[in-house]
């Protein structure tokens, strides 16, 4: 039986265009794999369009109800943070990716750090600053980032008080809580974890990011950054990264696929952050990592749909 999948892209946040690219890539890959695909777009103002639905979520629900599976390709707040997972759970519709709880925890960088430390994974020393706090002082270079945002929007390196004030002001444009962390010196290494339909989860080969300076929003999308996959690391480091990635995936309760970002230091992996709905164009990091393991882009999205069918929603009778 051919499955009908509704792919949701866009969103009401700074990652709108990135989400549209992911949605377009996923939709094309699914059609190539023989799936029937409906596409819904959440506009920047919150209106919905596509699949015969225009304007309201109520109209879009009809499209969602006709689908066998929902593939939410919305990155960032009001999407990746568990919002769409909650909607799918309420209408009892199988959904690709992590549920509400894992999405909410993974989107909150401070909560992610607390979970990581609880399961023995190192993170950069840091603290949360509320927007408007006065007399904020840090010694040495720090990285400033919104607590809940993606694609490195609002992320900046601060080397002095002036840069710190500017960075805090920029980050505050994306969230009312800001995370300030010590700079970690190490190689930037990503690992993706996939949970298959039978519940088995496994980690991809590691990918290394080569960027001049901070891997910020501009370097992510202007083509200046380079990726090496598999990363040139020894067996001990690969095992340490894989183990840490699987522990984070399990501790957060992730499903589908997640990308776990690390700094690889002389003392081992240091967690940077977790993406429960990572970029998923054919050229994105996650598809590249699985391609290195022999899983094509079309196979990856098909496996995600298959896994969603076999993952119960959280709103169910015991």
Judge whether 131 and 178 are in contact, CB under 8 Å. Answer: yes
Concatenate the DSSP letters of all residues of 193-217 into one string: EEE-TTS-EEEPPPEEEE-SSS--H
Residue 266 has pLDDT above 50, yes or no: yes
Mean pLDDT calculated for residue range 258-281: 96
Within this chain, domains 104-122+186-309 and 125-182 share the same CATH topology: no
The helix/strand/coil state of 69 is: strand
> Residue length, the chain?
318
Helix ranges (DSSP H) in 97-234? 100-107, 109-118, 161-171, 217-221
CA distance 108 to 115: 11
Please give the pLDDT value at position 311: 74
The residues, ordered by sequence, that sit 6+ positions from 96 with a Cβ below 8 Å of its Cβ are 69, 70, 71, 72, 256, 304, 305, 307, 308
Q: Which pLDDT band holds residue 284 (cuts at 50, 70, 90)? A: very high
Count other Cβ atoms within 10 Å, centred on residue 5: 27
Selection from 318, 257, 264, 268 nearest residue 293 by Cα: 257
CA distance 287 to 269: 22
Residue 72 has pLDDT above 50, yes or no: yes
CA distance 18 to 221: 9
* Residue numbers annotated as active site: 15, 151, 221, 259, 261, 273, 275, 279
Would the pTM of this model clear 0.85, i.e. be above it? yes
Per residue in 129-184, pLDDT (tens digit) is 887 665 677 778 999 999 987 767 889 999 988 888 889 989 988 888 999 999 99
CATH code linked to domain 104-122+186-309: 3.30.470.20
CA distance 98 to 249: 10
Q: Can you give the residue ranges of every domain in the chain?
A: 4-97, 104-122+186-309, 125-182
Residue 234 has pLDDT above 50, yes or no: yes
Please give the pLDDT value at position 317: 46
Classify domain 125-182 at the CATH topology level. Dna Ligase; domain 1 (3.30.1490)
Per residue in 105-119, pLDDT (tens digit) is 999 999 999 999 999
Mean pLDDT calculated for residue range 293-306: 98
Per residue in 89-110, pLDDT (tens digit) is 999 999 999 999 999 999 999 9
What is the pLDDT of the chain when averaged over all its residues?
Answer: 90
Class of domain 4-97 (CATH, top level): alpha beta
Sheet of strand 177-182, all strands in order from the earlier edge strand to the far edge: 126-130, 177-182, 142-146, 156-158
């Amino acid at each position: 039986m051919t499955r009908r999948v509704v792919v949701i892209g866009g969103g009401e946040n700074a990652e709108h265009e990135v989400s549209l690219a992911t949605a377009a890539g996923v939709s094309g890959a699914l059609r190539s794999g023989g799936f029937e695909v409906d596409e819904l777009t959440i506009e920047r103002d919150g209106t919905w369009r596509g699949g015969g639905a225009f304007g309201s979520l109520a109209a879009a629900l009809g499209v969602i109800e006709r689908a066998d599976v929902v593939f939410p390709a919305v990155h960032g707040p009001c999407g990746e943070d568990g919002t769409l997972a909650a909607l799918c759970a309420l209408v009892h519709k199988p959904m690709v990716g992590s549920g509400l709880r894992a999405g909410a925890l993974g989107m909150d960088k401070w909560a992610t750090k607390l979970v990581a430390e609880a399961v023995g994974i190192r993170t950069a020393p840091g603290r949360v600053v509320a927007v408007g706090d006065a007399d904020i002082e840090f010694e040495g270079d720090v990285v400033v980032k919104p607590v809940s945002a993606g694609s490195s929007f609002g992320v900046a390196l601060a080397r002095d008080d002036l840069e710190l004030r500017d960075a805090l002001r920029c980050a505050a444009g994306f969230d009312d809580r800001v995370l300030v962390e010590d700079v970690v010196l190490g190689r930037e290494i990503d690992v993706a974890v996939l949970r298959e339909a039978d519940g088995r989860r496994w980690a991809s080969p590691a990918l290394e990011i080569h960027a001049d300076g901070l891997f910020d929003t501009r370097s992510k999308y202007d083509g200046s950054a380079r990726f090496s996959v598999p990363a040139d690391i020894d067996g001990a480091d690969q095992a340490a990264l894989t183990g840490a990635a699987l522990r984070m995936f399990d501790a957060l309760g992730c499903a589908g696929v997640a990308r776990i970002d690390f700094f690889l230091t002389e003392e081992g992996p240091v967690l940077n952050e977790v993406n429960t709905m990572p970029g998923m164009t054919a050229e994105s990091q996650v598809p590249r990592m699985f391609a290195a393991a022999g899983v094509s882009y079309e196979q990856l999205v098909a496996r995600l749909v298959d896994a969603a069918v076999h993952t119960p929603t959280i709103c169910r009778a015991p």
